[in-house]
Structures are given as C-alpha cells and as structure tokens.
C-alpha cells in the first residue's frame, strides 16, 4: 500500500477480485452454487460499505440524535408532525440516502 492508496482503493480492489476473478472460477459447476453466491454477496457488501463511507457526512447531517429519537417517534405516532414539512423532508431525504446505499438506482 502506497501513501496514495486509500482504504476505499483496497476495498475496491478486493471487490473487483471477487467479482472478476474468484466468482467466475466458481461458476463451472465443480463447487456448490452456494459458494459462488457467498462470494458475490461479499462483493455486494463491500460495495455497500464503500457507498456508505462516501456518504458518511451526509448521513451524519441527516441523523436524528439518538436522545431525540424516542421523542420524535412518539411525536410522529401522536400526529404532532403530520403537517410538519421540515420533518417530512428530513425523513424522506434520510430514507432516500439510505436506499441509495443499499439499493442504488431504486430511488
């Protein structure tokens, strides 16, 4: 690893190795399909972690502090934020951002 190499670079290299080199070797039928599935699942998890890492500042900016979370949930359930555009926009932005991490292109 050189000083210019980042953790994201390493994760990307591992993900690419799994997808392009390891998974094809497991597709020939000599190993259970479950093994190939696990390799591809690991590569997918790496991609999710990389997306989350790149969006960490945005996630932190949208996050509701844990001490406020219970109060906010209770207030929403009680209907106290039904007409609160700011809360709606913040929750929607948070959901869209989290969905972009787990299922890019779904939003």
Least confident among 20-24, 49-53, 69-73, 103-107: 69-73
Q: What's the pLDDT at 66?
A: 44
Count CB-CB contacts under 10 A for residue 29: 8
Q: How far apart are CA 49 and CA 75, in angstroms?
A: 32
The stretch 18-46 carries a mean pLDDT of 93
Q: What's the pLDDT at 74?
A: 85
Secondary structure element (H or E) that encloses residue 73, with its range:
helix 66-77
Cβ atoms of 39 and 22 closer than 8 Å: yes
HSE-up (13 A, CA, CB side) for residue 5: 7
């Amino acid at each position: 690893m050189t000083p210019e190499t980042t953790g994201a670079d390493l994760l990307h290299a591992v993900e690419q190795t799994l997808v392009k080199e390891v998974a094809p070797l497991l597709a020939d039928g000599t190993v259970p399909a479950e093994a190939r599935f696990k390799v591809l699942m690991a590569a997918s998890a790496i991609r999710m972690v990389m997306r989350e890492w790149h969006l960490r500042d945005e996630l932190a900016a949208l996050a509701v502090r844990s001490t406020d979370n219970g109060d906010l949930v209770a207030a929403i359930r009680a209907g106290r934020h039904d007409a609160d555009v700011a809360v709606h926009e913040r929750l929607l932005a948070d959901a869209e951002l989290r969905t972009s991490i787990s299922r890019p292109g779904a939003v």
